[in-house]
Structure 1
Amino acid sequence: MKTNTLYLATLIFSVSCSSENEGTSPTYMELTEAVYASGNVYPRNEYKLFAQGDGVLIRQLVTEGETVAKGQLLFELESNVPDARSQAATNIYRQSEANLAASSPVLKELEVQLRNARTRQENDSVNFFRIKGLYEKNAASKADFERTELAYRSSRNDVAARQQALIRTKNQLYVELQNARSQYASSTDDAKNYRLRSYEEGKIYEIYKQPGELVRRAEAVALVGSPTKAYVQMAVDESDFTKMKLGQKVMIKVDAFDQKMYEAVVSKIYPKLNKLDQTFRVDADFTGDAPDGYYGLTVEANVLISQNPKALTIPKTYLYGADSVWVKEENGEKKKIKIQKGAENLDLVEVKGGLTDKSIIFKP
């Protein structure tokens, strides 16, 4: 529906006229200027619940109209791929933990090899220093001395190498454990993607999928929003958009509730023009009662632009052209004059200048 500017008027003083032939006089009236807009009611904190993975919907734990708590489980999907990935990650993580534990067979084998190397080093050390003492007293040959010295150095190097191997293996197993833990956490999070929970407390307004249906990644499963807080999304005509200001009072009629009137205030003005219907979006928050708990109710709204408790007005049918009227002069003759117009509606025009409440005007 194309929006139009409306002006609501309430009579303060009676119209001083007798007949069309005798003319009529401008009348003071309370004149309220308002911009008409159509719109809909939507819940606050609205969001769509999207699937984070591909799977079949196997459990639907809520229905439309039901209120849910934050973090509540709403839907469950089933998929073989994440289950297999999760099981593999779990097995690798457990094996990595076992490899680095105190009872690890890998580490125990290296520790046994290190102990054996140290035993050999001790024996070679005792033998070397014994032969060395004899060699210094010329009681042992040089060949025996060099042989025992070589064996001692070899066993000492073997101990150092096995110590490094044990340290290197522990570090490697630690890195593997961290990687396995990361993969395990990732697979656990991936499994959570197949259990859809609510982000915030809200009401289920619509469910897009039924149990047994395939759900793709990033596909919406349900629409959720606040169960108690709502706002009005209005479409204001391009010609009236410049009159919109934050905080303006809005009178809203909802046909679904026996045309009950609600009050709201303009809370947000969007600067982008909708080229399909040449309107701008304007939102308003309810200030009192609100038709909450429903999604998309159609409303009609009047945004109050200005109020003049005492405006000088004439019937619109007395206008000649855009801004002229026929007025009675002192000699009784009729004369066409221009007036300065203000606000107007389908019936009345506000006179800013050119006439007084004593003037007598005639229909053209």
Structure 2
Amino acid sequence: MPEPDWSSGLPSEHLEDIGKLLASGTDAALFRSVCSPWRDAVPFAPSFAPVLLLPFGPGSDRVTLYSVVEGKAFSRPLPDDDAARGNKVPCGLSCGWLALMDASAAVTLLNPFTGARVELPPADERVAAASSMFVSKEDGRWVLHPVNDYGNAAAGCTITLEEMRQFFFLEIVLSAPPDADGRGCVAMAVLPSSTEVAFCRVGVDSAWTLLETYLECSVDSVVHCQGRFLAIDCTGEISICSNIATGGTPTTTPMPSLSAPEELCHRSYLESNGELYVVGVLVDVFRWAQRFDYSSVVYRCNLQDPSPAWTRVNDAGDLTLFVSNHFRHSFGGTSVSRLNRNTIYFSDPLYLYGVNQYRSDHCLEIADIATGTWEVKPFHQKVQGLKALGGIRPNLWRGRGM
């Protein structure tokens, strides 16, 4: 029999079957041993390892991703109508899906690997008001009305597409991937300079619901952990958001006793195996030499403990952490093939001091959890100069919208 043609990757029905297995919790390690034609045709398929999403401008009809495992870039087409409309900005990467917002504040969840889409409720004046923004919609576009010294709204100016995140959704995080019917999960949004968050039950709610977190400072990041959302402010204070997916009355419970270690800078939070992790750096400043050194550190906490507390992690075993610098949402896993274990992969170097040779080219920062030391790995020459928006795990379950 003639050899199958693998040039376009696996048949779509097989990709969907594998995606369903992964979505159900099947270990990706089961799919690591594959033939070389498959590996060449679908760069992310052998290990389902995380890839980095590279920036794309208005009107782009493709998204470009960079495979750290393969050391090369590949692209996926955007749906035809999205390509025709263009003009969308990313406002989140979560559970293998990309959140896109247009100039009208309409939000679409897109699976860049399958083209599946799910529509979220559009933002409205209430969402902007939660961030103390006075806006109105005129001819389909949002207009900002600055407040003058007398407390009155001044003449408005149109909000550009590039400014939309500053007024509506800084980042959208999912509790889980949408199911085949475009439902089955909750989306929670970080709002600009606000102690409130916004959430919706995907495929069920027709509008966003605002929720006060009762944190002293503005919410900086959101993590879904043990069936609940955690709203975390810019100082590391945490508020637990409960009763959201069930449709009951949402509640928030601040945890002032669980502040992040004070010495940490550049904190990122993520969930892995039911535990909450915080990734940060310790900085040593040498003023006399006009330089500084830093090392990466990791702490974890089990929120189910009667008295939860942060514990320093010196050995994470097989765990690999992927930390995004553009978006706050990060993730970890133990079934990531051909990536270093007990390691943190930063989508961008935290500091460029001391690595000036890479200043004009994009690169990864790879940190060893056990030692805190790091190394810089430049991208392939064809994609140098592009800063990644963040890491994303392939989710091949097609879902709805194909």
Superposition TM-score tier, normalisation by shorter sequence: under 0.3
TM-score (norm 1): 0.18
More RCO (CA 8 Å, sep 6+): 1
Give the greater-gyration-radius structure (CA).
1
TM-score (norm 2): 0.17
Which protein is richer in helix relative to its size? 1
